[in-house]
Amino acid sequence: MEGSERVRLDLAYDGTGFAGWAVQPGLRTAQGELETALAVATGRAEGAPPRLVVAGRTDAGVHATGQVAHVDLTADQLAALTRRHGGTGEVEAIARRLTGLLGERGDLVVHRASRAPEGFDARFSAIFRRYRYRIADRLAARDPLDRHRTVTHPRRLDDAAMASAVAGLPGLHDFAAFCKPRPGATTIRTLQALTWQRDETGVLIAEVRADAFCHNMVRSLVGASIAVGLGRIAPERVGELLSSPVRANEFAVAPAHGLTLVEVGYPADADLAAQAEQARATRTLA
């Protein structure tokens, strides 16, 4: 936006009380809460109402500890946001101001605000998103304090079979079998890593990293893994599904609350604009 300054926001939220990230009429969403706080903080400052661009839109119930967004602010809006610091434009103060306005509920926190480097786009400049999925099966110690971020499974899952099933998935593929279709949207993605292992308490944890994800992709990959862990489908079947042009119906999509966006990665500042331009291009398997 001409005549404005771009600010990067690093934030976290417990997705339990949100109908996802994106604004939806009549529903509480992370974007809606944060944009409302921005509107209150900027008040009557000159400029259009601040609108956020996010690295990854999360579904209802999905959490984030490493979400990234950006907002373009006019000089007047920036001064209003930092007024308690004399309107000096100390961008770091924005995080404290917004978190204070978000209220006592405490399920959405802005950890850091900073001036975005030239070429930065929270969505298109990202080179990876990393998610974590947690399952407590019969072998795991179940912690009630983790109930909002860990799925409880009543049966023991074969973690070795699950790890074997996903070992061959990383790479550039069409993940149509694992994505909820959207008109005009591609399902071609580069899956950079997908692993399963148990932590010290026995909880099964999937670490999933890709350049980007199509809708329901992570939860579908987890759902397929669970089906393998239960012996309902063979481990090799998961890889075979990459050749399917339509969404698979051999497994259920895993519940949302076990999923957390833990990190968004960006290239060096000098490469931000080029990465954003490349990410906007239509993906192909070539």
Residue 86, both tokens: 């004399």
- Pick the catalytic residue from 10, 14, 59, 107: 59
Which amino acid would we find at residue 99? T
Please give the sequence-ordered ranges of beta strands (E in DSSP) within the chain, or none if there are none: 4-13, 52-54, 63-74, 108-115, 128-136, 151-152, 171-174, 188-198, 204-210, 259-265
Contact 63, 53 (CB under 8 A): no
Beta bridge partners of 115: 7
The verdict on whether 271 is a catalytic residue reads no
* Angstrom distance (rounded) from CA 238 to CA 221: 9
Q: Is the CB of residue 225 less than 8 Å from the CB of residue 165?
A: yes
Structure tokens at 261: 């966006």
Are 116 and 272 spatial neighbours (Cβ–Cβ below 8 Å)? Answer: no
Q: Which of the residues are catalytic?
A: 59
